[in-house]
Structure 1
Amino acid sequence: MNLTNAWKILKDNGFKETSKRNQILELFANDERYLTARDLLDVMQQDYPSMSFDTVYRNLATFVSLDILEETELSGERHFRMQCESDHHHHHFICMDCGKIKEIPVCPMDLVGSALPAYEIANHKFEIYGKCPECK
């Protein structure tokens, strides 16, 4: 997702553009890795010394609820990144050291779905965790 689309979604849902929200979105737009609230807070406290985790988490929760950001959990901590703008269904490999991602163009639901013929599947999430070539 790009900044223009993110701001359109926010404004369509009644959210005002603020410098803090803008900086958070810019941090995600300029980085393809998954980021933590701590990653954001470390950068943002340079401009906003009194900024708190509450402010960061409140904005992250808003962005996730509006499908601007996607969320995963790595080592017990929530990580976030901009929502993919891909035109096809896919999943991700996520490096547990640097947070970089690699798109996986296949879906295991193609196999799993046939094993559940009488069930209605509402949604699914599939991620692979490990180390990228640079980190291993």
Structure 2
Amino acid sequence: MDTTTALQMLKKKGYKYTGKREQMVHIFEREGRYLSAKEMLEFMQKEYPGLSFDTVYRNLSLFEQYGILEVTEWSGEKKYRLACSSHSHHHHLICTTCGKTTAIDLCPMNAILGEPQNFQITGHKFEIYGHCEECMRN
């Protein structure tokens, strides 16, 4: 997802376009990785010194609600990233050091479960956590 698409999604839902919301989406687009609310606040306070954690968190929750952001959790903290623009079903390898992700196209659900009888699956999430090559070198 890119900034334009994200802001159009908010506008369609009746939310105002604000510089802060645009800046947040730009940061996610630029960083290309999972970020915590605290990291986002630190990036945002460079341009908006009086910005509160509550404002950042409210916008992260709004973005998550409308599918602009994907969320995961590790080390007891929520992390956010721009939703994938790919509409194909896939999962992610997630580096817990830098937050970068790599898509994996196979779905382990198929191998584990197949098509269960008497049950309709409406969604699932599969993530593998570890360290990317670059972080292992450092």
TM-score range, shorter-chain basis? over 0.9
- Aligned to 2:78, the other structure's residue is in SS state strand
Runs of 5+ unmatched residues, structure 1: none
Work out the CA distance in 2 between the residues paired with 1:115 and 1:25.
37
Identity %: 49
- Aligned to 2:14, the other structure's residue is in SS state coil
Work out the CA distance in 1 between the residues paired with 2:33 and 2:105.
18
1:68-122 Cα shifts (integer Å, max 9, x gaps): 0000001111100000011311100000101111111110111233273222111
Q: Report what 2:7 is aligned to.
A: 7
The CA deviation at 1:18 is 0.6
- Aligned to 2:49, the other structure's residue is in SS state coil
- Aligned to 2:93, the other structure's residue is in SS state strand
- Aligned to 1:134, the other structure's residue is in SS state helix
Higher mean C-alpha deviation, range 49-58 or range 114-123: 114-123
- Aligned to 2:47, the other structure's residue is in SS state coil
Work out the CA distance in 1 between the residues paired with 2:3 and 2:130.
29
Higher mean C-alpha deviation, range 113-122 or range 90-99: 113-122
Q: Report what 1:103 is aligned to.
A: 103
- Aligned to 2:32, the other structure's residue is in SS state coil
Work out the CA distance in 2 between the residues paired with 1:117 and 1:106.
22
Runs of 5+ unmatched residues, structure 2: none
Q: Report what 1:32 is aligned to.
A: 32
Alignment-mate amino acid for residue 59 of structure 1: N
- Counterpart mapping for 1:39-54 below 5 A: 39-54=39-54
- Aligned to 2:102, the other structure's residue is in SS state strand
1:119 aligns with 2:116: no
Q: Report what 1:18 is aligned to.
A: 18
Aligned length: 136
Work out the CA distance in 1 between the residues paired with 2:78 and 2:29.
18
Work out the CA distance in 2 between the residues paired with 1:43 and 1:85.
24
Query: What is the aligned-residue RMSD (CA, Å)?
Result: 1.2
> Scaled by the length of structure 1, what TM-score is found?
0.95
Q: Report what 1:86 is aligned to.
A: 86
